A and B are shown apart, each in its own frame.
Chain A
Amino acid sequence: MQKLIQKAFRAFCVVLLAVCMSSYAYAQNLNVTGQVTGKDDGLTVPGVTVSVKGTTQGVITDANGKFSLSVTDGATLVFTAVGYDRLEAQATTSPMKIVLTSSNSNLTEVTVVGVTIKKRDLTGSVGSVSEKVIKERPTTNVNQAIQGRVSGVLVQNNDPRPGGASAIKIRGNNSIQFGANPIYVVDGLVIDGNFNTINPDDIASIDILKDASATALYGSRGANGVVLVTTKKARKGEGKIEYNAWAGVQSFTKNIPYLNAQQIVDLRLDAYANRYMDQNPGADRNTYIQSLLNPAGSAAFGADELRVYNAGESYNWLNEIRQKGVQQNHTVSFSKGSDDGSSVYVSFNYTDQKGLLKTSNYKRFGGQVNLDQKIKPWLKIGTNTNFTRTEERYIDGGVFNIAANANPLLPINNTDPYLSWKGITSTDLYNPLRSLSIDGQGNQNRLLTTNYIVATIIPGLNVRSGFSVEARNQNYYNYIPRDLGQSLRNSTEGSATHKKEDWLNWQWDNSISYEKTYGKHNISGLLSFGLTKNNYDYTQVDAQGFAIDDFSFRNLGAGYKKDRFNLASDFNTYTLTSYVARFNYNYDNKYFATLTSRYDGSSRFDTGQKWGIFPSLALAYNIAREDFMQGSMLSTLKLRAGYGIAGNQNIPNFGYASLTNAVYSSGSVYIVLADQMGNPNLRWEKQKQLNVGLDLGILQNKITLSADYFIIHNDDLLMPRSLASTTGFTTVIENVGSLLNKGVEVNINAQVISNKDLQWNVSANLSSYRNRITKLYGNTDAIYRYGGFTGVEIQREGNLFLGKSLNSIYTYKFEKIAQQSDMDRVSQIDYNGRTIRPGDIIPADINGDKKIDDADRIVVGNTDPKFYGGFASDLTYKGFGLNAVFNYNVGGKRINYLYEGLLGGTGEYAAHTDELNRWTPTNTNTNIPRAYQGAGRYGAGETDYAVQSAAYLRLSALTLSYNFTGDFMKKAKLSTLRVYLTGSNVFTSTPYKGYDPEGGDSYPTAKMFVAGVNVAF
């Protein structure tokens, strides 16, 4: 919304400033009055800015759309309002009847589930992103387009693969594990996930509903926020053809500085010698080192390694699997709207992205048809239908990690099935170059269609029925050739996998709504009823034994190891029912109230627990509309408050029952209890949300500010908790406790310069939240998460502690690197079998009991950012535009697993160049532990040594554009021609030592340089 205001005001201010610079010596001699109405509904439009062209003079229409002002004879009045086309009219002495046309009807209306409502009726906390903003960052992923543009919305691009999705969180974590993500509603259809099939070019606006009142219409599924996507509709008037295209080249944002072969040898020698000297004090270190370099038989090096070392070579395996990531995206659209409200919008899209690693790519093509038809004056029907096909080629999951951390002493080859260190082949390290021949492919067909019929029974009374379907099928195929390490290790002789998944989700929503104005009282009400059914099934086949690789995964029948074929399938269904009643009231557009109540039933709970009631109330006070505010500097002043309960049922199906699995073994089938214990007492998670907010505009809204404060008290938190094995199960889903989440969000926009040729806008947003677990089940003060190789180790992340953040990191505290002077103190502490010598990590004895044990393990921090957000600058000079979008994150921590591995200090694994500054008896002023081979000391991963700040400042998009105007456009019969160059992720500043504080370390994050064009005629 703010962007729209900004847009309107920018146009307005350009005019004002242009006039300021000329003379304004006019006499005022004409009193003008009039009333503004909207063309669509004939209702009066309050809040329209009426300004005198060429002056700074202006007023705003009152609650009845009326205005009056005094102007010079012959003056032109300019009418601007959010959501309406700008209109100019000659001032007249007779009362003026001004009829404003909606600039685009779907900018003022949104379709929520089963009902279309006016955006201004979305009381509560809503953040919006317009088409213009979405355009500013060329991307095929909607979440990326809104990253950093709305307060309270944390978008993390944590899957940097081509076509990878982004994670999105609204107001931090509210639920713990289930449904921590918002839902997406595309033209009224609720979809969970796979948001990246939506073409950003088709989107007219995105509204993000953040508090309980705003999300109330989604109740059961909107507890963690709602991302409302509205696709484009035609504007009234002449037909329009648009073409948008861009192409770009990607590269890694960052490379990890690895030790080269020579440095690895030095490190390993140091490590072995340190161990040797510890075990044989007084021995001759140099003699020992020389013995390790003896090619005839070294305990530290393979013969081939020494050959490479002596030849002065070093090998970078990662370079062998990289490629240039070329990407392109094209959208063409056709639209036309007619006066009766019928319209058509058709678009086609094609995207082709090559990944940064060989063999990976992503292609998507699809089309959108949006159609609205007035069949009778009282009956309208419409559809928004989208079809998308994606095709992907995967690089095998382990390739990047193995190649990045490969032994630089190992000559590059694609013949060995496995890589080695010290001449010892590891069957876990499949040769990444050979793994490139794994044929992994996937595709997906997805149909999203929402269809409605709405009848206007009497003016203001609408009956609407909508039926929406999401039909999706996804196929995954993989073939591992015969002679790869993967096949040798498991004696598969070639293995093929097919996995076919189907989703069929439908939603049927029916509503009756009524709206009426009595004098200054505006009321509207809504009753609705909806059914949702989600079906999922999959079939998987794994086949082994292929005589030849030629068929890849395509000929399962040609597999001969029939006794090792594996079949799997599943079918499940879940259903929801909901009733909603909603009532809106406003008086004179000054005082607003919205009362909503939902009654939801879900198949995910046991009989007796299925239903939940979720009420909410929102109030707003538009102080700027008060008489006493007229003529003040404040052009907008609105207070908002909302309280409501939102429900969450995003748990796996059948959490209420202890289920069993039927498993094949030795020629028969047996039944075992599943790991999850049934909990018949499971009930709806209830989030009690309070939101207060303020909207402020000063200097004719040249500066606008919107701020919100929220408190979310989440009771009956749904979470799986681990169980003692004596219960017979591993986990149970429970309403385990309560969580308190508080935060603030601020958005600011300012027009710094706005004159005819030069405009400069800046905007910034900041969000901050804190969460704290206030209660856990029973008398428990901690719930642990287990994992690791054996599945029984307490993990550093994912544990819950009373009074702490949900996202705590729990481990031993790194105290310091031991120096000789610490030895006396260290010798008095029981390290449970570990030894600490100078240069090693000392864990802190937190409770001072001279013993390092479980009691010394503490919450050392959390991954929550202290605050995060973005800021943008938008500079235009004549046709040129320079737009920069920044994202930032301050205060979040992240365990750098990669760095921990690279600081092992053994020289028997890849290492970070920080090792060059490692502790030695002559380099003691350092934080890098000494080299050491073998076990017995504390590793970096056992303490918070590598818990690093994940703070960052990123220039996520920098765009230089040129908009053609004037005669050229007329001659070419073009309405828009814009060309631009964009750099994405151009620059990132972070103390984090992995690949990316957001994208993580499992796949490199990309930067991209793009050239693009927008044409319309």
Chain B
Amino acid sequence: MKKRYILIPVALLMALTTSCKKFIEQEPQTSLSEEQVFSSIKNTDLFVLGLYTRWRDTKKDRAGFIFSLGSDESQQGAYQVLTDDRQAGIDRYNGFLTASNTALTQQWDTRFKIIYAAAAAINGLNTINSDDPLKNVLLGEASFIHAALEFEMTQYWGEIPVLDKAKQAEYGYRRQPLPVVYASIIADLETAVKNLPETQSEKRRVTKGAAIALLGKVYLYAPEASGVRDYAKARDQFKTLVDGGRYQLVANYNDLWDPQKPNSSESIYEFQFNNTQPDNNQTQWQMGSRSLAELDQYCYFGGYDLMVPTIYAYSDAADGGVWETGDQRKEASIRYDFTYKGKTPTLNPSFGGDELDPHVKKYEDVRTDGKLTFWLSGKNIFYLRYSDILLCYAETLNETGATAQAVQLVNSTVRKRAWGGTLPAAATWDAGMSPADFRTHILDERMRELCFEGWRRMDLIRSGKLVDLVKQRNKWTKQSNTIQPFHNRYPIPLLEIKQNEDISESDQNPGYSNN
């Protein structure tokens, strides 16, 4: 009798053994694997949206302005400099601006992850078997983002690793020579120009116009050593855009900063934000004045003074600054008056001292006023603006021997608008100026038109003026007096050197300590 019972568990055991192979196979239930994403165009589309969001998020909050510090138009507020040595190094160009500078490392870190993801998307789209027309559009979009970020990185760091899945074996993770880096950027942008549509119904997606504009900028901004700086090619790209007529300056410069008027005719591409987390950008938290934050936490121009204009950037020409009489851009870009709801804030003596000096106004988001903390500020942020393209176009005209035409272009568009539509004779540039004079003028004009919008550092690097002008105009750089030509590049982060087997300590940019 009893022997029968033995058979039951034995039989059970046998049956289970066969089914237990299945038993230990489990799949994720709430996420897709990388392979699953790139196996369908629909999934890849969502992934490309992710690239946009992460690229946008590099412009958010404190991190969004690190490259803008240490320039001749903007610097850190005094209280920030007093309390954070390492971040202060970005303005002081001293021993704290080294490989272990965390603020810079963070920029490197976030951007390369997006570049990698864009490369993965490009590879996925190049290998997927689909005749969905969306495929090519997505390829254009991913290529654009890949190029935009590589361009930004190489401008600030010089030779960078080029992440391209198709060439992974050849390239590894080494720093590539500038010609290789720029060739990759240009190839990506050409793909983008070819595949992107003229318009996109979703504003966060880039268009053909943006790709043409950026390609022009790459030819203009590329360093000589890359072998691709080419004013004529740049000019041709800009000309296509200008002649195309799709983009127009808005009549009133002030409207550019009105949160109720986003994505205007002047906008070639802007990062889309709103007042709801996670799509806010906290920008005002970094730009506003601590004195106002103390007065009222919901004052829309309160904040914590991460970045403030330099004296040069907020002063009139008469006082040695950049602003000419009658230029409407001054009041639109910079806040001079801190009276709020009838109250005049006082400077707390234990603050840094510059809290009631002029502040950046372009990011103020009046929609938050009285209702939301300025941490939830979320106005769109420009990436490519038509007036920038006009000024770039003028520069390329000047460099290709058409200085008079360049002057005429600036007078009749950007400067005319700056004076409310009628440019007074005193403010009209002389069409007979020399190409060298034009270069000087255009550099200041770019500050007046585009200040605090993120292009200044690149403009200073490409014009070779970074060391001179920043030393003169940036309070902290001047005080420290340690800026040197090697500071035209940032240091490769220690984090990368220590973990990337293809980059060693000796690959550091010259002048920097691996500390």
Contacts and interface: CB of A to CB of B under 8 A. Distances in A.
A669 interface: yes
B113 A729 contact: yes
Nearest to A721: B499
A654 interface: yes
Given A665-B53, A793-B100, A782 B498 contact: yes
Interface in A777-805: 778-779, 782, 784, 786, 788-794
A422 B83 CA distance: 14
Contact of B102 (A298, A658, A790, A934): A790
Interface stretch (B209-217, B323-331, B335-343, B344-352): B344-352
A380 B31 CA distance: 46
Interface stretch (A32-40, A705-713, A830-838): A830-838
Interface residues of A, number: 94
Contacts, number: 245
A671 B496 contact: no
B31 A531 contact: no
A286 interface: no
A725 B24 contact: no
B250 interface: no
Contacts of A424: 290, 294, 348, 350-351
Nearest to B103: A790
A315 interface: no
B20 A601 contact: yes
Interface in B63-90: 82-85, 88-89
B23 A673 contact: no
B373 A491 contact: yes
B349 A935 contact: no
Contact of B496 (A658, A725, A778): A725
Interface string A653-664: 110011111110
B278 interface: yes
Contact of B499 (A610, A724, A779): A724
Interface string A831-863: 111100000000000000001111000000000
B279 interface: yes
B34 A790 contact: no
A919 interface: no
A353 to B, nearest CB: 36
Nearest to A664: B278
Given A378-B2, A602-B24, A725-B496, A789 B30 contact: no
A726 B24 contact: no
B499 A569 contact: no
A453 to B, nearest CB: 11
B94 interface: yes
B9 interface: yes
A512 B5 CA distance: 12
A723 B494 CA distance: 12
Interface string B293-306: 11001100000000
Interface stretch (A164-172, A573-581, A988-996): A573-581
Interface in B278-296: 278-279, 290, 293-294
B89 to A, nearest CB: 7
Contact of B23 (A577, A662, A665, A936): A577
Given A529-B17, A792-B102, A576 B276 contact: no
A564 B371 CA distance: 15
B26 interface: yes
Interface stretch (A429-437, A457-465, A547-555): A457-465
Given A490-B373, A512-B9, A789-B102, A658 B34 contact: yes
Interface string B1-38: 01101100100110011001101111011111110010
B32 A671 contact: yes
B515 A854 contact: yes
Chain A interface helix/strand/loop/mixed: mixed
Interface string A328-358: 0000000000000000000000000000000
B306 to A, nearest CB: 14
B173 interface: yes
Given A424-B351, A457-B2, A610-B24, A792 B106 contact: yes
B237 interface: no
B109 interface: yes
A793 B100 CA distance: 7
A147 B12 CA distance: 43
Given A463-B6, A793-B102, A659 B514 contact: no
B47 to A, nearest CB: 5
Contact of A671 (B49, B274, B375): B49
B372 interface: yes
A575 B496 contact: no
Nearest to A791: B106
B348 A671 contact: no
Given A575-B24, A662-B31, A854 B100 contact: yes
B47 A660 contact: yes
Nearest to A661: B31
Contacts of A794: 100, 494-495, 498
Nearest to A853: B515
B513 interface: yes
A657 B120 CA distance: 15
B319 interface: no
B161 interface: yes
Given A564-B276, A653-B28, A724 B173 contact: yes
B260 interface: no
B515 A832 contact: yes
A936 B94 CA distance: 11
Contacts of B102: 788-790, 792-793
B252 interface: no
A301 interface: yes
Nearest to B496: A724
Interface in B103-149: 103, 105-106, 108-113, 115-117, 119-120
B493 interface: yes
B19 to A, nearest CB: 9
B322 to A, nearest CB: 30
Contacts of A613: none
Contacts of A512: 6, 9
A728 B112 contact: yes
A577 B20 contact: yes
Given A671-B37, A831-B95, A936-B85, A792 B120 contact: no
Interface string B364-378: 000000011101100
Nearest to A728: B116
B465 interface: no
Contacts of B173: 724, 726-727
B6 A457 contact: yes
A298 B375 CA distance: 30
A726 B500 contact: yes
A423 B88 contact: no
Contacts of B515: 832, 852-854
Given A463-B5, A671-B49, A724 B24 contact: no
Contact of A659 (B31, B47, B52): B31
Nearest to B108: A725
Contact of A728 (B9, B53, B120): B120
Contacts of A729: 113, 116
A295 to B, nearest CB: 11
B272 interface: yes
Interface in B195-231: 204
Given A658-B33, A728-B120, A576 B6 contact: no
B29 A572 contact: yes
Contact of B50 (A300, A569, A654, A672): A672
Contacts of A610: 24
In the A-B complex, the 5 residue pairs with the closest CB atoms = A833-B95, A728-B116, A832-B95, A853-B515, A670-B49
11 contacts: A302-B348, A422-B350, A510-B12, A529-B17, A531-B16, A610-B24, A660-B32, A662-B32, A669-B49, A794-B495, A854-B99
Given A572-B26, A728-B163, A830-B95, 7 more contacts: A490-B375, A491-B375, A533-B23, A662-B31, A729-B116, A782-B498, A794-B498
